[in-house]
Amino acid sequence: MEILSRLVRDRDQVGDPVAAIRRADAVQRHAAEQVAAARAESAIAVRQLRRLGWTFQDIALATGLTPREVGDLARESRRRLA
């Protein structure tokens, strides 16, 4: 019984750590899904701008990304089409 009492006391002091871990994991998974969706949208936008004749440098200057980041998005866009 002493262990059970300790578990109850500790949970009362710090909350339910297992539930906290589960909540944090759910938030992280949701955030990762949102980041992936935003990145896919950015890749499509880069492809559209490239079709209009924009260079990586033009896109980088307009968006605040580096030319390398723009290139990464362009490659992602091509992979999505393949």
Number of Cβ within 10 Å of residue 65's Cβ equals 17
Nearest C-alpha neighbor of 56 from the set 46, 44, 45: 46
pTM for this one?
0.70
Number of structural domains, the chain? 1
**Domain, as residue range, for 29:** 17-81
- Residue 12 inside a domain? The answer is no
- Residue 58 inside a domain? The answer is yes
- What tens digit of pLDDT does each residue of 6-65 get? 767 776 666 777 788 888 899 999 999 999 999 999 999 999 999 999 999 999 999 999
Nearest C-alpha neighbor of 48 from the set 33, 60, 59: 59
Question: Tokens representing 48?
Answer: 């559209």
